[in-house]
Each structure stands twice: as structure tokens, then as C-alpha cells.
Amino acid sequence: MDHKEQFESVGDGLLVRVPAKINLSLLVAGKRPDGFHELETIMAKINYYDEILIESNPKGDIALVCQGPEWAPEGQDNLVYKAARVLLNACGLAPDIKLTLTKNIPAGSGLGSASSDAAATLLGLNEYLDLGLATPDLAKLAARLGSDVAFFLNGPLSFCTGKGEKIRELSKNFHFLALLVLPDISVSTQKVYANYRHDQALFETLSTAINNHIIDNRIDLVVKMCANMLEIYCFGLESELAELKADIETLGATPCCLSGSGSAMFSVLENTDREKAGELRDKIQAKTGCKSIIVTGNRW
């Protein structure tokens, strides 16, 4: 999959590309007084995109059209619509915008698609309407839309804490090639967290190792740890995902890691030979029946 720019003019409109993310690590530090979980996670954008086309709407109000191979909620339940409403209201602007969302990234996959859609809407409208809002201004609006939205305003590689909204950008020099496997299973993040049982000793051990690797700028060593404290709880809900992971690793994509709370999995390949990566992708698709694509880290 080729690298593309985030913005592209299309007629009088603006096409905004919306990258997915993978969690190179995901640790849970415990439950907060507000009921959310405290996280430590390294997230990386990848070159696998939804698209949002922004155009004027002469009929007034915000019009949202959803299309593409994957499902997305219609109308006011969609984060694209909510993000547009939040931004336009905050700036006191008339809601005369048409948004066409092409949904390629599956929901319930742990790839952050809805959050990325929301961030791209904020960034795209800021560009399309020439608002000149800085990232901190957009981040305040993002906080009203979801914990992961702030990451997609930054990046492409960041260490995220709090609920995921506290962002520290990491070195942009970590280049990787990965196989992304997309099972036809939608996982409920809410249910995964509801099943989660905290292991403080495990958290402290993993956190110490990961933070030391960050200090040494060895994100490659973080990847080899394949640390995701939600994985066993995701697999507890969807046992076929545990079997799928074992099959993928048997075929040579190892370690195979869960992204977010699932269901997507990825394997970062040490050998960056695309031809061999393609052969491995084909083997995985033939053996498991799951769509598998080759991705790299996104540039922005």
C-alpha cells in the first residue's frame, strides 16, 4: 500500500485520508476513580486509510454520507458528524458542510477507525475552512469526542497515557513493515474492559522494560515483547481469535500481536523484503480465510 498525503484537493472539495493505528504495546496501569482505566500505550499510525471528502452543502446543515466496504453508523451517531458539529459550534460557523465518509477500516478491530475519523474531520475542516486553529485548540475539542482522538492529531508514533489522551511523540525514525490480519469479528471494547482483572506486578514489570526501551530509542525491542494486557480478556470473549493467533504464528508471522482490544492482529517483520511479505500474506489468507494486508508506519 503506497504512502499518500493527508490532504488532496478534489474539485472544490478537500479529500482527507484517515489512517488506522496499531498498538505496539498496551499496558493497563489500573482503574481510575472516574471508572476509566489508566493506560500506557505506544501507538503507531499505519498507511491503511478511511477517506473523508469535505464539500460545501448549499442546503445548509451538516450532511453525512457513509459508503465503502465497511459499516459505519449513519447521521448524528457517527463521530464524523459529532466532530463537525463540535468544531463548527465552537467557531460560531454556519453548518453548511457535506461530509462523505468512505469506510475501509472495520469497526471493532482495535485499529482506532472511529477516533481517527473524528480527528481527521477536525483537521480537515480546519484546513478546508482556513480556520488556523493550532493542535492544542483542536485537542480541546477532541477531548469531547473520545480518549483516542487526540493521538490522531499528533503522531505518527506516540507514547500515550491517561485514558489515552496524554500524548508524547516519539522518534519518527522507527520504520517498519507489518502484516495486518483482519478477522471478520467485531470485538466490544466495553466488554473487554468489563472482563479485565488487573495484575499490578505484571504491569510494573512490563512498564519498566518498555520505558527503558523508549529511553534507549529501541522501539523494535518493544515490538518483540508483544505486550498487550487486554489480549487474554479479548480471547476470553472470542476464543477463535486465540486459535487464529496460533495459526498465524505457525505460518511464520511471529510474534503476532493484538491491536488495542482486538480483533485485528499484526506481525512486524524483521525482513523487510516485500516479496517475501507478500508470500506470507498469501499463506495466511489461504490458511485462515482472513484478509491480510501489508502495511508500514505512516509518515504523518
21 is a catalytic site residue: yes
What is the model's pLDDT at position 1? 56
What is the model's pLDDT at position 2? 65
Distance CA 116, CA 39 (A): 18
Which are the contacts of 183, defined by CB distance < 8 A and separation ≥ 6?
Answer: 240, 241, 244, 263, 264, 265, 290
pTM of structure: 0.96
Residue tagged active-site, from 96, 148, 220, 282? 148
Mean per-residue pLDDT pooled into runs of 10, the chain (300 residues): 86 98 98 94 98 95 97 95 98 96 97 97 98 97 95 95 95 89 96 97 98 96 98 98 98 96 95 89 97 96
What is the model's pLDDT at position 75? 92
Residue tagged active-site, from 21, 98, 103, 245? 21
Domains and CATH numbers, the chain: 7-169 (3.30.230.10), 177-296 (3.30.70.890)
Q: Is 123 helix (H, G, I), strand (E, B) or coil?
A: helix
What is the model's pLDDT at position 271? 74
What is the model's pLDDT at position 242? 98
Number of H helices, E strands in the chain: 9, 11
12 is a catalytic site residue: no
What is the model's pLDDT at position 155? 80
What is the model's pLDDT at position 3? 73
What is the model's pLDDT at position 199? 97
Q: Are strands 7-10 and 62-67 parallel, antiparallel or unpaired?
A: unpaired
**Closest-CA residue to 94 (of 119, 68, 123, 62):** 62
Q: DSSP per residue over 275-297, as a string?
A: HHHHHHHHHHHHHH--EEEEEEB
In this structure, the dihedral spanned by the alpha carbons of residues 77, 78, 84 and 89, taken in order and rounded to 10 degrees, is: 10
What is the model's pLDDT at position 49? 98
